[in-house]
Amino acid sequence: MNTAAKTRQTQRDRERIAWWEEARFGMFIHWGLYAIPAGKWKGKAIEGIGEWIMRRAEIPVAEYEQLASQFNPVKFDADAIAKLAQDAGMKYLVITAKHHDGFAMYDSPCSTYDIVDATPYGKDAMAALSKACEKYGIRLCFYYSQDQDWHAPNASGNDWDFDPATKDFAYYLENKVKPQVRELLTQYGPIGLIWFDTPVSISLEQSQALSRLVHTLQPDCLVSGRVGNGVGDYGSLGDNQIPTGRLEGYWETPATLNDTWGYKTDDHNWKSVKTLLHLLVDLVSKGVNYLLNIGPRADGSVPEQSVNRLRAIGRWMKTNGEAIYGTKATPYPHEFPWGGITQKGNRLYLLFTHWPGERFALPGLHNRVTKATLLADERARIAISQTRDNDCDMLELRLPACPDPNVAVVALDLDGAPEVDQTALQQADGSVAMIASMVNLHTPKSAPQIRIGESGVIENWFSTSNWVDCDFKISNPGAFEIRIHTSALRRAREWTGGHEVRVDLAGSTFRKTIAPDAWSDSPKARYFPEAATIIGNVQLDTPGIYTIEVRAESIDKKSRAGLSLSAITLTRK
């Protein structure tokens, strides 16, 4: 479990991370020699993310390093990039100072394999970026690959030029990593964070030593969770990973605008502005920072598709940014089909990715709502009514026409700090959603522990002696369809089914094989597929609390993820 998410914090930890939690939204930049081949090598398209071309094509160091003599990014404009981050509403910028290919995009005194010594460009791009970020009030941060380095014989990752059996990782750490981390933290002014990555060989002691080095050189500089071994000032989710439900602690998701980090000429799979804003809402409403990537071309220019999308997000942020910056995750334990909720002081923000129309109902809010405001039009009138019956608080709003087809925000002023019912409640559309973090996990002593993983999904469910149950509250009885949702996990991108489950509810027993009766089409599931299995129909005739139980009668042995349950839902028949 990645304890870097810092669910337990010292006062110093809290001070250090305050700016980052306030920021919520940052720019990632993957830029290096790999932008020259841009996904092709010797005329052949190379699969996968652009910055991995050296490894995917097993390009010998002697060949790859020749790219440096071609690298002359005359169109690199640090000022324009920092301004773009500001225009997008991004508060910090993390750029690849050295990626897995080992090439330093800054003037590294300990190495000549860098942008100043090895290229016709001969200038320190990071120095220019440092000045530009200061000018626009953007915190400059560095990505640094501390473990994989395909140019270094003693680092991880290059087993086509170097024999893994002869590697001395400690030597690499002492003679390249630590000197370069020191350079990055002494040559470019205050640095917001060091974004370490892919800890494959590094030991706990080595991760701790790196974190200490950063905090010694710049006490306010954060260390990302990918420094490894549960060390770090915040947790880093998988690439493009969206958790199920809110997360405790401090988390960030790195994400792409298309499907690659480093520029590729042939990757045209750009996400729409609507999708990008929905991802922003989904992440921030769960307490997760959104680190959104651009991949400049070899000449230093930024693809227009990236620029246009970031500027559109920035226009939305100008109107709605108060619902993002400095907010905390939703006070509700579950997710909503219409969008997400953030909170700040005595305010709740309802961020509608799907506008409900004239009438909107929200169950479980114990506070009195003193005012409701449409951020896109503060003059718009929103009528409020609040009732309580069947032991369930219900807020109803009469909404005006939708002001923004991408995401529209309603701010609710409350009579105090938000207080909401933590039970799985029936929503206005009659549905009940019990996400994994809401269910009770049962693991007999003899069985391997099932747990809620970093992405909010049940992990390690390989034994039939594990089971789960969850209470939920029905205020409108009727007939319901039960579904079990299962999701791919970070290590096993592919979704697997085939498990036999037994579900008990209200005296009825259902048995079903986990199969993808319906795939989730939400942006959340684009990289981590999630499927719903229809279990059966049940009649619940009286309002009140019910308990649903889910058992595994067999687990498919071929599955690497096990029964990776992400949610149990009831929808109106």
Q: Is 197 in the site for ligand JFZ (CB under 6 A)?
A: yes
Binder among 117, 161, 220, 239 for ligand JFZ (CB under 6 A): 239
Q: Does 238 bind ligand JFZ (CB under 6 A)?
A: yes
Kindly state the smallest distance separating residue 525's Cβ from ligand JFZ, in Å.
16
Asked whether the beta carbons of 88 and 144 are under 8 A apart, the reply is no
Cα separation, 8 vs 248, whole angstroms: 10
DSSP state of 213: H
Give the contacts of 87 (CB within 8 A, at least 6 positions apart).
310, 311, 314
Return the DSSP state at 93. E
490 binds ligand JFZ (CB under 6 A): yes
Alpha-helical (H) ranges within 292-417 are: 304-320
Q: Considering the complex, what minimum distance in angstroms separates the CB of residue 513 from ligand JFZ?
A: 28
- CB under 6 A: which stretch of 7-15, 45-53, 364-372, 385-393 binds ligand JFZ? 45-53
Cα–Cα dist 27/290, whole Å: 8
Residue appearing with tokens 């773009």: 84
The answer to whether 225 contacts ligand JFZ (rule: CB under 6 A) is no
CB of 518 to ligand JFZ, least distance (A): 26
* CB 130 to ligand JFZ: min, Å: 21
CA 429 to mean position of chain CA atoms: 28
Side chain identity, residue 224: S
Distance CA 172, CA 424 (A): 51
Q: Which of residues 3-32 bind ligand JFZ (CB under 6 A)?
A: none
d(CA 126, CA 3): 31
Side chain identity at residue 528, one-letter code: F
> Interface with ligand JFZ includes 261 (CB under 6 A)?
yes
- CB under 6 A: which stretch of 48-56, 123-131, 153-161, 531-539 binds ligand JFZ? 48-56
Shortest Å, Cβ 52 to ligand JFZ: 6
Residue closer to ligand JFZ (CB basis): 196 or 316: 196
Which backbone phi and psi does 372 adopt, to 5 degrees? -130, 130
Q: By C-beta, is 227 or 555 nearer to ligand JFZ?
A: 227
What is the closest distance, in whole angstroms, from the C-beta atom of residue 239 to ligand JFZ in the complex? 4
* Binder of ligand JFZ out of 5, 17, 27, 49 (CB under 6 A): 49
Scan residues 357-416 and list those touching ligand JFZ (CB under 6 A): none
Nearer to ligand JFZ, 52 or 461 (CB): 52
Of 46-54, 55-63, 439-447, 474-482, the segment contacting ligand JFZ by CB under 6 A is 46-54
CB 374 within 8 A of CB 407: no
Closest to ligand JFZ by CB, 439 vs 489, is 489
540: Cβ contacts below 8 Å, ≥ 6 apart: 474, 477, 478, 479, 480, 506, 546
CB nearer to ligand JFZ: pick between 260 and 486: 260
| Closest separation in Å from C-beta 99 to ligand JFZ | 6
Q: Which is nearer to ligand JFZ, 58 or 553 (CB)?
A: 58
The CA distance from 239 to 48, in Å, is: 13
Query: How many residues form the binding site for ligand JFZ (CB under 6 A)?
Result: 10
107 contacts ligand JFZ (rule: CB under 6 A): no
Q: Does 51 bind ligand JFZ (CB under 6 A)?
A: yes
> Smallest distance from the beta carbon of 528 to ligand JFZ, in angstroms?
10
SS (H, E, C) 444-503: CCCCCCCEECCCCCEECCCCCCCEEEEEEEECCCEEEEEEEEEECCCCCCCCCCCCEEEE
Report helix, strand or coil for 517. Answer: coil
Q: Which is nearer to ligand JFZ, 238 or 337 (CB)?
A: 238
Residue 210 amino acid letter = L
Min CB(195)–ligand JFZ separation in Å: 8
Q: What is the Cα–Cα distance from 232 to 236, expressed in whole angstroms?
A: 9
Rounded CA separation 426/185 (Å): 52
What does 242-277 look like in DSSP terms, one character per residue? --SS--SS-EEEEE-SSS-SS--TT---PPPHHHHH
Smallest distance, Å, CB 9 to ligand JFZ? 23
What does the block give as tokens for 403? 């002001």
Of residues 292 and 555, the one with the C-beta less far from ligand JFZ:
292
Residue 526 interacts with ligand JFZ (CB under 6 A): yes or no:
no
Residue 150 vs 169, nearer CB to ligand JFZ: 150
In one letter, which amino acid is 131? K
- The answer to whether 157 contacts ligand JFZ (rule: CB under 6 A) is no
Give 235 or 287: the residue with its C-beta nearer to ligand JFZ: 235
* Residue placing its CB nearer to ligand JFZ in the complex, 183 or 197: 197
* Cβ contact 396:360 at 8 Å: yes
Shortest CB 261 distance to ligand JFZ, Å = 5
Q: Which is nearer to ligand JFZ, 15 or 266 (CB)?
A: 266
**Residue 248 contacts residue 7 (beta carbons within 8 Å):** yes
Q: Give me the amino acid identity at 71.
A: F
Q: How far is the CB of 62 from ligand JFZ (least distance, A)?
A: 22
Residue facing ligand JFZ at closest CB distance: 238
Nearest distance from C-beta of residue 115 to ligand JFZ, angstroms? 18
Tell me how far apart the alpha carbons of residues 161 and 163 are, in angstroms, rounded to a whole number: 7
Closest CB to ligand JFZ among residues 159, 358: 159
Nearest distance from C-beta of residue 539 to ligand JFZ, angstroms: 42
Among 139, 127, 284, 108, smallest CA distance to 222 is for: 139
> Do the beta carbons of residue 192 and residue 222 sit within 8 Å?
yes
Q: At what angle do helices 78-88 and 125-136 cross, to 10 degrees?
A: 40
- Residues binding ligand JFZ (CB under 6 A): 49, 51-52, 197-198, 238-239, 254, 261, 490
